[in-house]
Amino acid sequence: MGKTTGFMEYQRELPPDRAPAERITDWQEIHLHFPDEKLQTQGARCMDCGIPFCHTGELLSGMAAGCPLNNLIPNWNDMVYRGLWEQAVDLLLKTNNFPEFTGRVCPAPCEGSCTLGINEPPVTIKNIELSIIEKWFDFGFVIPQKPGKMTGKKVAVVGSGPAGLACAAQLNVAGHSVTVFERDDRIGGLLMYGIPNMKLDKSVVRRRVNLMAAEGVKFVANTEVGGDYPADKLREEFDAVVLAGGAGKPRDLPVPGRELSDIHFAMEFLRGNTKKILDEGDLTPARVSANGNVSSAPFISAEGKDVIVIGSGDTGTDCVATSLRHQCRSVTQFEILSRPPNERQPDNPWPEWPKVFRIDYGQEEATALYGSDPRHFDILTKKFAGDENGGVKEIHTVQIEWVFPGNGARPTFHEISGTEKIWPTQLVLLSMGFLGPEDGLLKQLGVEQDARSNAKAEYGKFATNVEGVFAAGDMRRGQSLVVWAIAEGRGASREVDRYLMGETNLP
């Protein structure tokens, strides 16, 4: 590396975020950017460690350790340190089709496996990755690259999320004619409607989709394969099909009172909100009025309400941040699990993903506005209670204590007597993860499903039991990270190319 002692000389530093009081007034991205000299200093912190777990992409204890895309992280960190931006972007794009997405929304398992992170703050890999690609866009050097020769083969990709887009991009490079089907009115899937604008600006998604279209990929929106477009027709008209429809079946909470109105799944709330602000074409101010809605998507307003979000993952955080921008009266977040420790525990060693307490942007904003973290841990929802109009007005909860029997047995919990509590609420958002893909299309095509209802296709091969039909991303592996979806899309493209041509040169 260019600065072998950099990790001893420089401290980890991230660019500042916009102040919470400012950013909750609009839908603009919350992150600011570093000048080049700061980026080069952070690149210098990358050690010549000799054992770079940051790009391994292994699963340890069920979680990603290192980058699933096997990004060449030490190499492009070195290029940034040296100011060699063209070489840095070449190295970055060898493994990642969309660093502008992962650099914004990935939780950075690479940083969790950074060797420096054993006893010091890890290298700022994610921020450097984003800076490399954005600088290249700013220079105007990201231009359409059309395939030199077409194969005459036609491939359909169902779903335009990160897995579908990555697969389509790679198959297009190989010279196949690729058509991407999306049932929503805008291309991007999870990237467009599952992640709020302040976390991933939709102009960034459109920029990449427009680039892919200029390179020859065909996009068909407002079309549900298996509904508007018959599944049989899909197989007749294309030489291969890739199913990348995600895992959109949400986990429900079947407790008394669940039938009350104003209890919604998180994605209903987030999708309707993003669609409305995009349809109305105004990212400022943040307050979205329920009047004059030009969007066809149901818009759920949190304005003036006591909002309770059940679930504390990334999607739950997005619900908190969106509710604040609606000018809710209060926002509270429930988590059935215990509060994570502040530091790694002995049973969570490096290079595993560190299971430690974190404050994400939504909790930071709520704390700035209300004076305390909105999260409550070890809490169990017992029932919902309604008002005279059938809307939710209360949640009844109890605190729990977890019991870990050991010997491989699953942990259990018991309720703590005397900790019952009633919480006023007029809007409940369920953010407890996803159970698997919607299976209508899978059944129409005759695709086998595994025990978790995902499309059954061996990792590395991605082929289903149906000839010429492949599966990738969350639809195959279950709910996961954007970076895993991109990796799966790239992997599936290799196998589709091999299926069509007998061999493949795709990376």
The CA dihedral of 265, 266, 267, 273, to the nearest 10 degrees, is 120
Over 50: is that where the pLDDT of 129 sits? yes
pLDDT of residue 245: 96
Percentage with pLDDT > 90 across the chain? 89
Q: What is the DSSP letter of 229?
A: B
Q: What is the mean pLDDT of residues 245-267?
A: 97
Percentage with pLDDT > 70 across the chain? 96
Selection from 427, 393, 386 nearest residue 303 by Cα: 427
Q: What is the mean pLDDT of residues 314-341?
A: 97
Euclidean distance between the first and final Cα of the chain, in Å?
25
pLDDT of residue 296: 46
Query: Which residues have CB under 8 Å from 345's CB, separation 6+?
Result: 355
* Continuous H helices in 3-72: 6-9, 20-23, 36-44
Q: What is the mean pLDDT of residues 80-94?
A: 96
pLDDT of residue 293: 35
What is the pLDDT confidence band of residue 297, given thresholds at 50, 70 and 90?
low
Query: Are 442 and 449 in contact, with CB atoms under 8 Å apart?
Result: yes
Q: What is the mean pLDDT of residues 74-80?
A: 95
Q: What is the mean pLDDT of residues 409-427?
A: 96
pTM, two decimals, is 0.95
Q: Do domains 6-139 and 154-248+435-501 have the same CATH topology?
A: no
Query: Which residues have CB under 8 Å from 68's CB, separation 6+?
Result: 57, 109, 481, 483, 484, 487
Please name the CATH architecture into which domain 6-139 falls: Orthogonal Bundle (1.10)
Output the CA–CA distances (angstroms, integers) from residue 349 to 57, 61, 112, 121, 497, in the order listed.
Answer: 16, 10, 10, 15, 39
| Sequence spans of domains, the chain | 6-139, 154-248+435-501, 252-432
User: Domain 252-432 in CATH: superfamily?
Assistant: FAD/NAD(P)-binding domain (3.50.50.60)
Note if the bond before 20 is cis, omega within 30 degrees.
no
> pLDDT tens digit string along 27-53?
999 999 999 999 999 999 998 888 899
Query: Which residues have CB under 8 Å from 186's CB, separation 6+?
Result: 192, 193, 202, 221, 275, 278
Q: What is the CATH topology of the domain spanning 154-248+435-501? A: FAD/NAD(P)-binding domain (3.50.50)
What is the pLDDT confidence band of residue 150, given thresholds at 50, 70 and 90?
very high
Selection from 291, 23, 81, 68 nearest residue 163 by Cα: 68
What is the pLDDT confidence band of residue 16, given thresholds at 50, 70 and 90?
very high
pLDDT of residue 419: 98
What is the pLDDT confidence band of residue 261, given thresholds at 50, 70 and 90?
very high
Rg (CA), the chain: 23
The identity of residue 54, as a single letter, is C
> pLDDT tens digit string along 345-357?
999 999 999 999 9
Please state whether 122 falls in left (phi above 0), alpha (psi between -120 and 50) or beta.
beta
Q: What is the mean pLDDT of residues 426-438?
A: 96
What is the pLDDT confidence band of residue 284, given thresholds at 50, 70 and 90?
low
